[in-house]
Amino acid sequence: MINKQGIWFLTLTSLALVLSVYYITMPNELLLTNNSNFNTENNTVDTVSNETVTIKDSELITSMRVELDNERTTLMNELQGKLSDKNLTVDEKNEVYEDLRYLSNIASLEETLERKIKDEFKLNSFVKIDGDIVEVTISASNHDKTLVVNIMKSLQEEFTEKKYISISFKDN
């Protein structure tokens, strides 16, 4: 038999679980205000003067991420369409499935590398991996050679084989 205290505990725990799942799955757009002058550290409003649009570096990195995500989403949708094709053999479907896994792993690794740069060097970055080439774009005004070498060494630790790591800076 459950007593009153057990029922209250179960009710409150269930409520906390439901609310946490709700807030985790809620789109970010609902959490933002409708204020047109919305500014945060990573999101800034474009300034328009004399028909010229000035883009902040954090927006440049964000736009690079969005563009890459769109490309990958399109490619993944094509691969998923092939995966459901009845005319493909089992071996061809396995190859398509491996391509999907590879894209997913690359996206995860890029995110890990961006987080590593953010944690170790306190810099906003964009990482794109294409085969043996790792392209890193960093939003910083400091173009120090030792910083570049340290970032390259730190990123190379994540790979078992040698990668060509290219680092470019975009001024703040």
**DSSP output for 20-48:** HHHHHHS-HHHHS---TT---SS--PPEE
Q: What is the pTM of this model?
A: 0.63
Give the pLDDT confidence score for residue 16 in this predicted structure. 82
> Is 3 part of any domain?
no
Give the pLDDT confidence score for residue 28 in this predicted structure. 63
> Is 138 part of any domain?
yes
> Is 163 part of any domain?
yes
> Is 105 part of any domain?
yes
> Is 31 part of any domain?
no
pLDDT in tens, 66-89: 999 999 999 988 988 888 888 888
Give the pLDDT confidence score for residue 31 in this predicted structure. 54
pLDDT in tens, 148-172: 999 999 999 999 899 999 999 887 6
Q: What are the distances in angstroms from CA 57 to CA 4, 63, 166? A: 57, 10, 18
> Is 20 part of any domain?
no
> Is 60 part of any domain?
yes
> Is 7 part of any domain?
no
Lowest mean per-residue pLDDT among 50-59, 100-109, 137-146, 148-157: 50-59
> Residue 115's domain spans which residues?
50-170
What is the rounded average pLDDT of the residues 13-27?
77
Q: Residue 137: pLDDT above 50?
A: yes
Q: How many domains does the chain have?
A: 1
Percentage of the chain surpassing pLDDT 70?
A: 80
Residue 139 maps to which CATH number?
1.10.287.4300
DSSP β-bridge partners for residue 53: 48
Rounded to the nearest 10°, the torsion over CA 26, 30, 33, 39 is: 60
Q: Whole-angstrom Cα distance, residue 61 to residue 148? A: 18
